[in-house]
Structure 1
Amino acid sequence: MATSRTPRASNADRPAPVFLTWEDIGAATQTIADQVTAGGAPDVVVGIVRGGMIPAAWLAHRLGIRDVRAIEVTHTTGDGIHAAKTLLPTTRNPASLGDLTGLDVLLVDDIAGSGATLAHTASLLRGLGTARVRTAVLTVNRANWTQETEPHHAIDHIASLNDTWIVFPWEGQHER
């Protein structure tokens, strides 16, 4: 996924955000699909609402998986660039996942910032009796990463690494 786009100016103490295109997202989902296929197709794809739903659906199509589910987990207070984080990730309506007992699950989000949302959600899925939980993100913002291990040791499938805020085409913040 390209990260060399000309970003808009930001405040002086933070790097300018990177604006991804639909072509970047297509390339990223293909990269992840290739990685996932090497380890066997999952039974179900779970997207973290909201940002993870588009890549989850795209990956499900690429992998030929019809069972796509959603879980709402948030760790920011808003949608803006450099939005503040909540103390801990918040989960709403985990029962919407249905029965995942014994299933191989691919958990998808658009980005891992601190890594807390993905780690929290993967733990929640494991607690539901899944046989296997694999994690996938389009990109990791290393500038916000707070987990004890490096991203590639904490996340199974990563399309790219970045060092700044990422703006996705579905966020409606592209002003070109």
Structure 2
Amino acid sequence: MDRVYLTWWQVDRAVFSLAGEIRKHFRPDVVVGIARGGLVPAVMLSHILGDLELKVIDVKFYKDVEKKMERPVITIPLHGSLEGKRVLIVDDVSDTGKTLEVVIEDVKNAGASEVKVACLSMKPWTKVVPDFYVFRTDKWVVFPWEEFPVVVRE
């Protein structure tokens, strides 16, 4: 699968673009970041949108670029109640949509009154089209927090 590499500047612009759209259409009480890819944009959005409460959920689905497990598994569950809260779920990419389906169900089961999804990008074939996203691509997106320079030690 072809890859597209994003810079920190591109991510920054994308997150501010998301925040602008979210402000126009939704006022979340809580941001839920999906570890690991969704954590950076979730933290940024929680600050930009007014220092909102931030919760983390960890879901494993991918073993490698083209190797997925059969079904996503929650490995670190949400803590605390979301009873009556408006929740914004944040991830980096909506690829198959299966991870988002699992998280949306979990957030609703935790009592959220309203749930919206924000992703930096989405794939054309996803089962869950985010309420807020910046771009569509059929490429594997590599974010700056995923690639590290090799350190050579002598």
Do these two structures clear the TM 0.5 threshold for a shared fold by scoring above it? yes
Distance (whole Å) between structure 1 residues aligned to residue 96 and residue 149 of structure 2:
24
Unaligned segments of structure 1, at least 5 residues: 1-13
Distance (whole Å) between structure 2 residues aligned to residue 83 and residue 158 of structure 1:
23
Distance (whole Å) between structure 2 residues aligned to residue 39 and residue 85 of structure 1:
33
Q: Which has the higher contact order (CA 8 A, sep 6+)?
A: 2
Give the deviation of 1:146 after TM superposition. Answer: 4.6
Distance (whole Å) between structure 1 residues aligned to residue 92 and residue 149 of structure 2:
16
Give the deviation of 1:77 after TM superposition. Answer: 1.3
1:63 partnered with 2:49? yes
Partner of 2:103: 121
Number of residue pairs aligned between Structure 1 and Structure 2? 150
Structure 1 stretches of 4+ moved >3 Å: none
1:18-57 equivalent positions in 2, closer than 5 A: 18-57=4-43
Distance (whole Å) between structure 2 residues aligned to residue 45 and residue 34 of structure 1:
15
Q: Residues 32-67 of structure 1: CA distance to partner in whole angstroms, max 9, x if unpaired?
A: 111110123210101001110000001111111331
Partner of 1:75: 61
Query: Match for 2:119: what amino acid?
Result: V
1:88 partnered with 2:85? no
Compute the TM-score of the two structures, normalised by the length of structure 2: 0.90
For the aligned residue pairs, the C-alpha RMSD in angstroms reads 1.7
Distance (whole Å) between structure 1 residues aligned to residue 104 and residue 149 of structure 2:
31
Partner of 2:93: 111
Partner of 2:142: 167
1:132 partnered with 2:114? yes
Compute the TM-score of the two structures, normalised by the length of structure 1: 0.79
**1:123 partner SS:** helix
**1:97 partner SS:** coil
Percent sequence identity over aligned pairs: 35
Contact kept? 1:19, 1:168, Cα under 8 Å: yes
